Homo-oligomer: A and B are copies of this chain.
Amino acid sequence: MDSKIFNLKSKLEVYKAMTGGGNFGDCPVRDVIQGISGKWSSLLVMALAEKPYRFGELRRLVPDISQRMLTQTLYDLQRDGYVHREVFPTKPPSVEYSLTDLGRSMFAPLQLLIQWAELNHDAVREARAAFDAAQA
């Protein structure tokens, strides 16, 4: 009932006003963040932010993803309203995925995080190396 996560949220009202009433499953941050923090979500959103892609194109674009996870991640992104899925009646039928307005809206802040990642990749790699060296 009185989740401490809500307390955390309260303490973080430095950034926003406190919202009343909340319970266990109602940690908005985690609810939303978890939907886009999957292993492949950000990568796929990043790709679709560039332009719409078809299933096979995405598969070739992100070769490390398994077909199964590509299907599932796109399904989840579609369910959360970030991605639009359209089937074209060609033969064989092709399926195009594109960002919705909500998806584009979400990509704006996500892109900043991605830019940070690109800029600071070396720093993170160095931190890892230093940490592993210290542990050995």
Contact = CB atoms under 8 A, between A and B. Distances in A.
Interface of A: 2-5, 7-8, 11-12, 14-16, 19, 23-24, 27-39, 41-43, 46-47, 50, 60-64, 78-81, 102, 105-106, 108-118, 120-121, 123-128, 130-132, 135-136
Contact of A102 (B7, B33, B46, B127): B127
A34 B28 contact: no
SS of A interface (majority):
helix
**Which of A2, A27, A118 is packed against the most chain B CB atoms within 10 Å?**
A118
Nearest to A111: B15
B46 A117 contact: no
B116 A113 contact: no
29 contacts: A3-B63, A4-B61, A4-B62, A8-B43, A8-B46, A11-B50, A12-B46, A15-B111, A15-B128, A16-B118, A24-B64, A28-B121, A29-B43, A29-B46, A32-B118, A32-B121, A33-B114, A79-B128, A79-B131, A80-B124, A80-B128, A81-B130, A102-B124, A102-B127, A105-B116, A106-B113, A106-B116, A106-B120, A112-B112
Contacts of A132: 16, 79
Oligomeric state, in copies: 2
